[in-house]
Amino acid sequence: EIYTLSLHDALPISNTIALCEALGNPQDQLTCIHIAGTNGKGSVANMLSAVMTASGRKTGLYTSPHLIDF
């Protein structure tokens, strides 16, 4: 039987949780900020990077496509 997912169904997260636990929950060691959305991602990313750098934190910023000027 082929399983179909409607727009109103939610995928169960239990398999993902089990996998993460089996791997020792590596996501708990990850320190990153993922910015998503429709508009303003580049501006938000650059502002957060500047604020965090000014506060003495080591930062890395990856944007795609590459930003030439901000």
Residue 3 CA neighbour count, 13 Å, CB half: 4
- Confidence at residue 34, expressed as pLDDT on a 0 to 100 scale: 87
- Confidence at residue 38, expressed as pLDDT on a 0 to 100 scale: 82
- Confidence at residue 44, expressed as pLDDT on a 0 to 100 scale: 94
- Confidence at residue 37, expressed as pLDDT on a 0 to 100 scale: 84
- Confidence at residue 7, expressed as pLDDT on a 0 to 100 scale: 66
pLDDT tens digits for range 12-70: 889 899 999 999 999 999 888 889 888 888 899 999 999 999 999 999 998 877 666 66
- Parse the chain into domains and list their residue ranges: 9-70
The amino acid that residue 14 corresponds to is S
Length of the chain: 70
